[in-house]
A and B are shown apart, each in its own frame.
Chain A
């Protein structure tokens, strides 16, 4: 399979050159892992330096974020089961991939999620109750993407990967203007999320072609959670997905997606690479969707519980908890507080979701076009008239 493909000159997080012969990732699988399932921290010639920069507060923050979003996920699933959401897309199992990558991004970066990036939304300070609007039939979006540079969820698989590259091409042009104006604006990049299933879509291919051709500052972040609803990754690809980057001519990195420290490190590296004008990077985060694809799905029909159990033993929260305790970075009180915070968040999300008001169909008329449109105006006027007919009937009846 070969090791993770870093470009030359190969540099680490502190700008030091990596000597020849020292490769990142496991020699057999290419997998970059720092924090193993047993909670011990390993080393990597490139990415250990990123891990060393992490303050204890950040590590505790990673844990708190992961625990929070898992609790949120449970609550949203419960809301769906109680008939309050049409559907829910659970993320449990993928917390490290999402929190690690999201926390590596800077405010000036722009994020294009799929529809499962609840953890990334948390790192971008999106009010999590906004995520439920889509699933409660309130809005097709919810939050203001420009407020936190976190785009709307995209349900048409992989469509957002092209938007990501176009957005990155826009950043590139803005950067040129900023450079000529000697502006101090921080350099930006884009993270484009997609999954192992979506990797088969043509738009992923085209987005990688465009990104490579224009050297666009975009990090493709593929969460390989091993199942596209009921179809395993082996049906999507015959080679490890990160190896596809080689074919497009940019670096590909495979990372243990359940290792929040490694995910954070490789994403920081990739974003720096992109922001500095060195072009796109593909990260394949090896993780697992512990639950169903959506609440409409039944994983017992297509996969073995033994496989699920094996992945549960690689749980991203458990291993960080072991590490934090072993290093004396967090105590019982910390974990108790995290649990309380999670319950508070769940209560907030539940009450906010249940209080969401149905929108007015007239808001829908208003949103079709940005500029006045005679047909929409005519149909809206007709509908108002039609509605008012019922009102006057009611009045007559009373």
Chain B
């Protein structure tokens, strides 16, 4: 066991991957000498050299497009997109090429590319640096999308993403980069399946589903609700595509109430998908409508008002009150 931040855990996970898999390599802007703008790749250029840790030209489509070519040649590229809002120049390569290559080749080709994207707000940053675009990718068949919420998961999930034969988008909760946690680098334990949701706190009155940066917020809301006598179950979704509906459904069958929280706008989002699926699977077990807590239908606002935009403990508690009132 070692204590480390989420950023360091990803760094150590990447180091383990580069050591264990000779075909793996990192690509991205400023990931070499600088070690990435969040220092997630710090020290890796020095230890693995410029053929394995590639400082790329400043072109996101180029990063993902060339990664596809490398994967076709048998490599396992791990791309870094510097910020969530800058992934869109690569959107065409990700959705029309990366996601479909296996399908359009009738299964003959595989493109095991990992795309790391720091995402989410709450860091007081400028425009395009605080977005949560996961639903745009979740809508695209052929991609897998995972997001850790803690250091132990971060260490293992990045390695599992690289081992996966399918392309994986790895969303990193950037405001949790500095969150420290215990990491067992010997044994993944419950983190052995990156596509499985984790019940982090058991409860009987309602379920909160969250992922990535909102997991600590959901846990804090559950603690606050406990002071009011409510027993709240908290699920860390971990995987956004596929979604582990079995775990969510089992929880809802027990609690009868479901709140889904994410930073992304609720309209057309992951919360809506979970609400619809759970309504289909467990309609008669629901005591209240599924309630979503998320961003408004607006571009991510300026930093000075982002606290009003972001889901927080109070917004989740308000949603819990509404749910429990049914």
**Chain A residues proximal to chain B, CB less than 8 Å:** 110, 139-141, 144-146, 151-152, 154, 156, 159, 161-171, 173-174, 176, 202-203, 206-207, 209-210, 213, 363-364, 366-371, 373-376
Contact = CB atoms under 8 A, between A and B. Distances in A.
A146 B108 contact: yes
Interface string B54-88: 00110101101111111111110100000000000
B165 interface: yes
A368 B141 CA distance: 7
A72 to B, nearest CB: 23
B43 to A, nearest CB: 21
B97 interface: yes
Interface of B: 25, 51, 56-57, 59, 61-62, 64-75, 77, 89, 92-93, 96-97, 100, 102-110, 141-142, 144, 164-166, 195, 241-246
Contact of B57 (A146, A169, A209): A209
15 contacts: A152-B105, A159-B65, A159-B96, A162-B64, A163-B66, A163-B69, A163-B72, A166-B68, A166-B77, A167-B72, A169-B66, A169-B73, A170-B70, A170-B72, A176-B51
Given A156-B97, A163-B69, 10 more contacts: A141-B108, A161-B65, A162-B65, A169-B69, A203-B65, A203-B92, A209-B62, A367-B106, A368-B142, A369-B102
Nearest to A202: B61
Contact of B165 (A152, A169, A171, A370): A370
Contacts of B164: 371
A144 B245 CA distance: 36
6 nearest interchain CB pairs? Answer: A166-B69, A162-B65, A170-B73, A166-B66, A206-B62, A140-B104
A307 to B, nearest CB: 33
A374 B144 CA distance: 12
Contacts of A146: 108-109
Given A141-B105, A363-B106, A167 B57 contact: no
Nearest to A162: B65
Contacts of A140: 100, 103-106
Contact of A162 (B68, B166, B244): B68
A103 B34 CA distance: 45
A165 B110 CA distance: 17
B178 to A, nearest CB: 33
A167 B105 contact: no
Given A162-B65, A163-B68, A163-B72, A206 B57 contact: yes
A374 B242 CA distance: 7
A140 B244 CA distance: 30
Nearest to B195: A374
A118 B166 CA distance: 30
A137 to B, nearest CB: 13
A373 B239 CA distance: 12
B319 to A, nearest CB: 26
Contact of A152 (B56, B62, B104, B166): B104
Contact of A367 (B70, B71, B97, B102): B102
Given A373-B242, A374-B242, A166 B70 contact: yes
Contacts of A210: 56-57, 59, 62, 66
Given A152-B105, A170-B75, A176-B51, A370 B110 contact: yes
A162 B92 contact: no
Contacts of B96: 156, 159
A164 to B, nearest CB: 6
B57 to A, nearest CB: 5
B69 A167 contact: yes
Contact of A139 (B67, B70, B72, B106): B106
Contact of A163 (B65, B166, B244): B65
A222 to B, nearest CB: 17
A144 B97 CA distance: 17
A370 B102 contact: yes
A152 B102 CA distance: 11
A144 B105 CA distance: 7
A59 B56 CA distance: 43
A170 B70 CA distance: 5
Contacts of A159: 65, 92-93, 96-97
A165 B72 CA distance: 11
Contacts of A170: 69-70, 72-75
A207 B165 contact: no
B57 A213 contact: yes
Contacts of A163: 65-66, 68-69, 72, 97
A229 to B, nearest CB: 19
A176 B50 CA distance: 13
Nearest to A159: B97
A322 to B, nearest CB: 41
A243 to B, nearest CB: 21
B65 A141 contact: no
A188 B73 CA distance: 12
B69 A162 contact: yes
B241 to A, nearest CB: 8
A146 B108 CA distance: 9
Contacts of B69: 162-170
A369 B108 contact: no
Contacts of B70: 166-167, 169-170
Nearest to A154: B97
Contacts of B141: 368, 376
Contacts of B65: 159, 161-163, 165-166, 203, 206-207
